[in-house]
Every structure is written in C-alpha cells, then in structure tokens.
Amino acid sequence: MPIIEMHLMTGRTVEQKRRAVAAIAEAAATALGVSKDTVRILITEHGLEDFAVAGVTVGGRSEKKPQT
Amino acid sequence: MPIIEMHLMTGRTVEQKRRAVAAIAEAAATALGVSKDTVRILITEHGLEDFAVAGVTVGGRSEKKPQT
Amino acid sequence: MPIIEMHLMTGRTVEQKRRAVAAIAEAAATALGVSKDTVRILITEHGLEDFAVAGVTVGGRSEKKPQT
Amino acid sequence: MPIIEMHLMTGRTVEQKRRAVAAIAEAAATALGVSKDTVRILITEHGLEDFAVAGVTVGGRSEKKPQT
Amino acid sequence: MPIIEMHLMTGRTVEQKRRAVAAIAEAAATALGVSKDTVRILITEHGLEDFAVAGVTVGGRSEKKPQT
Amino acid sequence: MPIIEMHLMTGRTVEQKRRAVAAIAEAAATALGVSKDTVRILITEHGLEDFAVAGVTVGGRSEKKPQT
C-alpha cells in the first residue's frame, strides 16, 4: 500500500515534481518488493512562512541573514 | 476524538464538501459510538501535479492518454 | 482519490473499525460522487498520553477528575 | 527530532506565525530536553470550508448563526 | 526540506525499511536538486485492521476471500 | 482550531509528554490569540527504524558510529 506524503517548499516545477514522484515510487516499490501500481504519493507545498527550523520560519531566516 | 484528515483533488464545490463532512461525521460517530460533536475533519486539496499513482501524477497521466 | 487518515484513541474493536471504514467510505463516495473503490482509509491509534485537549492528555485529565 | 505539523485556519499574519513557531519550538525543546535546532514545524492552512466540527464546516456554521 | 511520511503495512524487516529510506532519500534529493542531508523520512506502520480500500480493511478482505 | 501533530522518537516518559503538550498548547494559544481549549495535540511515536535523516535510519546510524 505504500502511501507517501511529501512536504515541499513551494516553487518546484511540474517537471521536478513528476521526476520526483516517478523516482520515489520506483525506489519504494523496488525496496519493499511491491508493485509500483500500489504506491500513492501526495504532495503538500508549504510557503516561506509555513516551515520553520529551530523556531524560525524560512522567510524569517532569510531576512536575518544579510546577503553579502 | 476522531480527528479525520481527508485528502481530495482540488475542484470540489462547497456543496460537495459540506455534504461529505456531514455524512462522514455521522458515519464515524455512529460506527464508533461517540458523539458527533467530538468529530473533527480537516480537508487538504491537492492539485493535478500533487497526487501520483504508480509514479505518475494525475496531470502527467491525462497528457499521456489521448482523449479519443 | 479520497485518502482519509483517521486518528482514534486506542481500544476500538475490530468490529468497530470495520463498521467505521465501511460507513465512511460509503459516505465519502456518495457525497463526492466517486467510486467507493477509490477511497483509501488509514487508521492511526493514539494512547491515553498521546492525545491532548487544552494542553492536558486524556490520561492526565482522568487522573485529575475524581470518579465520585 | 520533533517534527510538528500544525493545522490552522487561513488568515494568520506572518507575525503571528513567526511568534507561534518560535514559542512552540522553545516549548517542545525545553519540555523534551532536546536542542531547539532539531525541531521542525510545518504549517498547513485550511479554508472555511476545509475544517468541520460535528459535521459542519466553519463556513457552513457561520451562515446558520445569524449575527445579531 | 523534503519531509516524507510513509505509511506501510506492518511486517517490513529492518533491512527493507533501511533500503527503502536510502533509495527514497536518494531519489528525492536527485529529482529535486537538494542535498540528501535535508531529507527526513517518517515511517508509520498500520495493522491489518487499520488500512481499508473500498471500505473494507485488509483483515476483513482476506477473511472474505477463500484461499482455494 | 489549532490541531497539532507531533512526531517523536519512542521512549519519552509520561511526564515529558504531559509537560510538552502543556507548554505547546500554551505557546500556540498565546501566540495565535486563541483559547487554549481549542488546541488539540496528537502524538505519534516512531521507532529507531522509522525515522531517517539523509536516507539512514536512527538505528542504522548508531550501528555505523563506533562508540569510542
């Protein structure tokens, strides 16, 4: 059954997403010994203020770091 | 407590969503013997490039199939 | 595609789960106008210390309330 | 590792989100005794028709309640 | 950031899981053009009564199908 | 509504979980300006082979690192 939820930052191209789900489905099916047909992948995209590491959003972090 | 996350393809009408959550909350409450008030439902919608079966997104699949 | 994740407190019987997924799949398919075959449901069970309302776990809450 | 997914109604300001993830990461790290750097937080926002309590969406509920 | 949640039926060996996460992280990193170090994968296992297709759990389905 | 799903490695004590959900609910309610009563938190625990960074599970990583 593998059901895979993938969380990404927004901004991937259609091409990147298609390549990613093709490669991940292939990888999962091979490693787990199941048919690729049983693999379902859901992508959820998150904006710059919707993902945080160490309590700081991606948007907040880039404001703090001056781009010298 | 049932907390239910429902993943759908984008494009459902408000009417469809309201009917779906009403029916699902009713179904869950009855089958599990809990008050309907305790049931919470979260809907997340996914675009055509954000759901894939067998490593192919819905968008990619419809491009491959000629609409004869 | 509806993919439904249902979070429950542990302790449901097999019978309850089977009734719940049957009723929910039927409800979702009818309300959304899709075939029941496309509905997938994942159940995740949570222990008494793994679900909290208002910052208190279910286990913690029952300790506080004397069972008069 | 704490990985935290937070579901919110849409409409929070950037400032509110940044304060929330800062406070939550701090709270989780302190309570669990891990470095704040290991805490990741994902926010998913849900529209008025994408969250339901007792089988009624937020949008549906506000229509029913006359704003006297 | 890719954060990937993978839902599996219980019963995979440690070896299968290790191979799966190695292959999926590699696939995601390559397809999305990010460092493999940024990929996090969470596995959740579901029992026979905790996954249902078309309203029937895996456990329920196997009971119905006589193994001739 | 905040609904928060927290993924942890297995092995936290009841006390740690109770402190974590109390602190997180408080933090979320204050930062978002909502009543603490509306905050729900779900904990899911993951074993050593069910969480991977950079394609290596926690269990696999500790085997590779000799504890000198």
The pLDDT value recorded for residue C57 is 98
CB contact under 8 A, C52 and F41: yes
Cα nearest neighbour of F50 on chain E: E43
Question: Which pairing describes strands E40-46 and E3-9: parallel, antiparallel, or unpaired?
Answer: parallel
ipTM, 2 decimals?
0.91
Which residues contact residue D51 at a Cβ distance below 8 angstroms, ignoring those fewer than 6 apart?
B40, B41, B42, B43, D7, D9, D57, D58, F1
Q: Is the dihedral of CA B31, C23, A38, A9 positive or negative?
A: negative
Query: Cα–Cα distance between F38 and F36 in angstroms, integer?
Result: 5
**Is it the case that chain C and chain D have 3 or more CB pairs lying under 8 Å apart?**
no
**3-class SS at D23?**
helix
Residue B68 has pLDDT above 80, yes or no: no
Phi first, then psi: give them for residue C7, nearest 5 degrees: -100, 125
Burial of residue B38, with CB atoms counted within 10 A of its CB: 0-12 exposed, 13-18 middle, 19 or more buried: middle
**Shortest CA distance to C42 belongs to which of A41, F25, D41, B6?**
B6
Q: Which residues on F lie below 8 Å from B1 (Cβ)? A: 40
Q: What is the mean pLDDT of chain B?
A: 95
| Minimal Cβ distance to F39: which of C46, C55, C57 | C55
Cα nearest neighbour of F4 on chain B: B3
What number of H helices and E strands is found in chain B?
2, 4
**Is it the case that chain A and chain F have 3 or more CB pairs lying under 8 Å apart?**
no
CB contact under 8 A, E49 and C39: no
* Min Cα–Cα distance to chain D from F2, Å: 5
Q: What is the pLDDT of residues C6-65, one digit of tens each?
A: 999 999 999 999 999 999 999 999 999 999 999 999 999 999 999 999 999 999 999 876
The structure's pTM equals 0.94
CB contact under 8 A, E43 and F44: no
Cα nearest neighbour of B51 on chain A: A42
